[in-house]
Structure 1
């Protein structure tokens, strides 16, 4: 948030999200604030062949990470429900992004997950080893934007409940690749980068 406020200019995506994860040096000497989290998330869904258009998507959490995810989901024409512990924060997110979404408290997460085609988790519960109560998955996708050890407990619980688990490592690689392209005009090979990152992450979990 501070980066976008201090930069001389900002892309439309960064402006909508209200935060920057990438700064690009301008020829004038100033900085352009960019955000590659939203396109990185979109790319990770494409890599996993996950259809979002006209699907019921349950987004868990309304923090900083959820902003980019919610914007991407809205742009992909998802029917969106956001579950967050503090409903007012989710309402602020929807208003800030100017998107349509139903708001529910986290107490209703299990019921909303039961109705969703895809569930996206941006909550940090897994970082403390905590998990959610999962309804029967029926091989639907549960995508946790965390990866490695912080995502392990949640993804294992999801798989046990019959969900198709997916972590956020591909999103990390994609947003980094798009940042690299902005800096150097070269888009790295995401497939090989992801394979190397996956190997390193698995070695530490």
Structure 2
């Protein structure tokens, strides 16, 4: 007998951690449902969604690269945040058809909620990278009132991304090489301020070049957040801790975005009290 199921689609798909995460939560909650990985080529997206529309057991899917933009014209409704970001990573069947959401943005913000709940005189984030993940992160941070310095290999692309996502914001675009060399900039008193340094690029990931970031660019008390998950403890995070900064790793965003999707698929929140055990499974 068929059971309810959700899945993750992409090309490639074997590397996805989503089946492990969602399967872990389903088991903990005793929900009689499955979560699978499904390899879907770009040319097969329309046929895939057409078939799933007719499947009464299908609860939705997560969407990974390279389909996060390509699925949009195939959906019936877009959540406003997904529309603003221009990317969908979660599709669910709802009354009236298929709805597209972006859980990357709230998933990214989740480990920063205690910081964001405080009042600040000024909030600034230095965000490194201009790819798809950076779009969700910039939208999320702009929505929380942060001034953003967006760094990429092409500052014009960074500027265009900022103007697209938050046209009225007082944001700045720079060359990512700017952060590689030491600076003698004298930071003023950071009391009452929130400073973030976010690696939203693949730099520092296994098989990728290291991210060149000189710690002299980090204001005192800055929080470093690296979305890379392999390795979890990147060189950037190690250097930040050595310099006395608090750090957030990529598993925080990975688990956070999955939690928002899980609730949409299966109708209840995942058991987050088991996060430590889940992290062990993800890193073993």
2:203 is aligned to: 125
Structure 2: unaligned runs, 5 residues or longer: 1-68, 188-193
Using the size of structure 2 for normalisation, the TM-score is: 0.63
Kept in 2: contact 1:121–1:143 (CA 8 A): yes
For the residues of structure 1 that align with 2:111 and 2:141, how far apart are their CA atoms? 12
1:197 is aligned to: 278
- Superimposed CA distance per residue, residues 32-86 of structure 1 (whole angstroms, 9 cap, x where no aligned partner): 111111111121212xx33485312111111100011101101110121111111
1:103 is aligned to: 173
For the residues of structure 2 that align with 1:24 and 1:18, how far apart are their CA atoms? 17
C-alpha root-mean-square deviation of aligned residues, in Å?
2.4
Deviation at 1:151, TM superposition (A): 4.9
Cα gap change, 1:98/1:181 in structure 2, threshold over 3 Å: closer, same or farther? same
Partner residue of 1:50 out of 115, 122, 128: 115
Partner residue of 2:98 out of 19, 31, 36: 31
1:159 is aligned to: 241
Kept in 2: contact 1:145–1:167 (CA 8 A): yes
Deviation at 1:139, TM superposition (A): 4.2
Deviation at 1:27, TM superposition (A): 2.8
1:81 is aligned to: 149
1:142 maps onto 2:212 in alignment? no
Instruction: Tell me the secondary structure at the aligned position of residue 204 of structure 2.
Output: helix
For the residues of structure 1 that align with 2:158 and 2:233, how far apart are their CA atoms? 22
Deviation at 1:180, TM superposition (A): 1.2
Instruction: Tell me the secondary structure at the aligned position of residue 40 of structure 1.
Output: helix
Whichever structure has more helix as a proportion of its residues is 1
For the residues of structure 2 that align with 1:122 and 1:4, how far apart are their CA atoms? 23
Instruction: Tell me the secondary structure at the aligned position of residue 120 of structure 1.
Output: strand
**1:12-31 maps to which residues of 2 (within 5 A)?**
12-28=80-96, 30-31=97-98
Aligned length: 199
- Superimposed CA distance per residue, residues 6-42 of structure 1 (whole angstroms, 9 cap, x where no aligned partner): 11110000000001000011233x3111111111112
Query: Which range moves more in the overlay, 13-22 or 147-156?
Result: 147-156
Query: Which range moves more in the overlay, 138-147 or 12-21?
Result: 138-147
Cα gap change, 1:135/1:186 in structure 2, threshold over 3 Å: closer, same or farther? same
Using the size of structure 1 for normalisation, the TM-score is: 0.86
Cα gap change, 1:125/1:81 in structure 2, threshold over 3 Å: closer, same or farther? same
- Superimposed CA distance per residue, residues 87-117 of structure 1 (whole angstroms, 9 cap, x where no aligned partner): 1211221122134211111122255x98682
Instruction: Tell me the secondary structure at the aligned position of residue 108 of structure 1.
Output: helix
